[in-house]
Amino acid sequence: MTWTRSRPRLDKDNRAFWTGGAEGKLNIAKCGDCGGFIHPPREICRFCLSENVAPHAVAGTGVVDTYTVNYQAWAKDMDVPFVIARVKLDDAPGVYLTTNIVNCPVDAVDIDDPVRVVFDEQDGVWFPLFEKAG
């Protein structure tokens, strides 16, 4: 996974998510009133419409909800194959991150595998990727 990823446009709502990796933290927006997690991050809670929303560092662990293997090199410097997965976070109910599973062969990944976050820093953005845990 060495290619240059598309850079997200940082704003006050999503900055904590994209830069938390600098401190090793996976920050997910959480409502201070109803406790709901909001992803992608927004300034208003999607459950109770509260504006009392702030970044919350979650454990960074989860399970593979579903995945696919990409064999097509969409960019010149892209290493294939690689796994595109949807990861369900352990401690942020309802939050699923679309990400990559790294540091293992593509055929070692399966649904329900426990994973933990690792960060790929590119140009001031810490992309949350996941590797198999244990």
Helix or strand or coil: residue 124? Answer: coil
Among positions 16, 26, 29, 31, the unique one binding Zn ion when judged by CB under 5 A: 31
DSSP labels for 45-63? -TTT--S-EEEEEE--EEE
Which region among 1-9, 25-33, 56-64, 70-78 touches Zn ion (by CB under 5 A)?
25-33
**11 in Cβ contact with 18 (< 8 Å):** no
Residue type at position 68: T
48 binds Zn ion (CB under 5 A): yes
Q: Smallest gap, in angstroms, from Cβ of residue 45 to Zn ion?
A: 3
**110 in Cβ contact with 87 (< 8 Å):** no
47 binds Zn ion (CB under 5 A): yes
Q: Smallest gap, in angstroms, from Cβ of residue 32 to Zn ion?
A: 8
Which stretches of the chain bind Zn ion, using CB under 5 A? Answer: 31, 33-34, 36, 45, 47-48, 50
